Amino acid sequence: MPVEIPSDLTPELVPLSWLIGEWEGRGRLGTGEEGSEHFVQRATFAHNGLPYLQYRAESWLCDDEGTILRPLTVEMGFWALERKLVDADGGPGMLPADMVPALKTADDVEALRNDDGGFDISVSIAHPGGISELYYGQIKGPQIQLSTDMVMRGSHSKDYSAATRIFGLVDGKLLWRWDVSQGKSSGDSAEGNGGLEAHASAILSKLA
């Protein structure tokens, strides 16, 4: 399936452009083995002319035939290439960015390629229950690997210390897997990456 790049996309989002759109499909909790619960998910990646993608994913528990039973959760966040911010970038807060983007050309973006031939990215995701994740990782073509650098938990949040996520575009479908560690975290930085366990996975199709 060819990837259509929006004409108003800021240059540095081109490596992420295959994510843009609305996706829907089904997945399984845990390892996905017999007895694992099923869910339906709809995920959206959108852009508004600024150098990041807006992300929202809503999920519902369903039966093994895909009939929705009840809401499961919602998560929201932002995806961007990882780079040093300059005066042309917006923020902090509502301070506006320059009219001309910080990275103006494809050559500017190519200069950000890492030694592995991909691009470093950062992803921030907020969850209900007072939990927020900050991921760092890499996008290389239609493949993404992410690992938490930090998990922030509220005073009454459930234990959750680290996570990894992988995404891939295979035959036009978005496949993802999410592994987590529910060990206790120390301060603001996540510990226990060695204790990661399968949390969920899904296969999503792009909606017209």
Cis peptide bond N-terminal to 142, omega within 30: no
Strand 21-29 relative to strand 68-81: parallel, antiparallel, unpaired?
Answer: unpaired
39 touches 56 (CB < 8 A): no
- Backbone angles phi and psi of 45, in degrees to 5: -115, 120
Distance separating the N- and C-terminal Cα atoms of the chain: 12
Does the annotation flag 199 for ligand binding?
Answer: yes
Does the annotation flag 206 for ligand binding?
Answer: no
DSSP 193: G
Residue 107's contacts (CB-CB under 8 Å, 6 or more residues apart) are: none
Binding residue numbers for heme b: 158, 199
Binding residue numbers: 158, 199
